[in-house]
Amino acid sequence: DAKTTQPTSMDCAEGRAANLPCNHSTISGNEYVYWYRQIHSQGPQYIIHGLKNNETNEMASLIITEDRKSSTLILPHATLRDTAVYYCIVRVAGWRETSGSRLTFGEGTQLTVNP
């Protein structure tokens, strides 16, 4: 069963903010929200992750709703190089290996940044 739901595709104009939504209505209290992206023919790239507080790093911001049932990844100023498939994944963090700690990839959102 899919643990996250994302739109299949989105478009964004270069220089504008890209807001990528993700629904994870069945998320458990000990599960984090992770975001990765995959540029064509490359390995996935880690972007950001969070538990319940909003997070920001040099790549993006992650906004998690108070009930934790959904989140939004924000790329503040999208560039052409941000065109990629973006994956929202929930997992139990920690070094102990369990089925819940694995990264399970869904179909993701194909973000296309247009000039």
Using CB under 8 A, list all residues that contact another protein.
34, 36, 38, 41-46, 49, 87, 93-95, 97, 102-108
What's the min distance (Å) between Cβ of 14 and another protein? 25
State in angstroms the smallest separation of the CB of 15 from another protein.
28
Q: Which is nearer to another protein, 18 or 36 (CB)?
A: 36
Angstrom CA distances, 103 to 3, 19, 33, 34, 106, stand at: 11, 22, 11, 9, 10
- Nearer to another protein among residue 21 and residue 44 (C-beta): 44
Total H helices, total E strands in the chain:
0, 9
Output 10 or 32, the one with its CB closest to another protein. Answer: 32
Least distance (Å) between residue 81 CB and another protein: 16
Residue with tokens 């299949």: 8
What is the nearest approach in angstroms of another protein to the Cβ of residue 25?
21
Distances (CA, A) of 36 to 18, 44, 67, 115: 15, 6, 22, 23
Closest CA to 50 of 34, 70, 66, 29: 34
Judged by beta carbon, residue 14 or residue 52, the one nearer another protein is 52
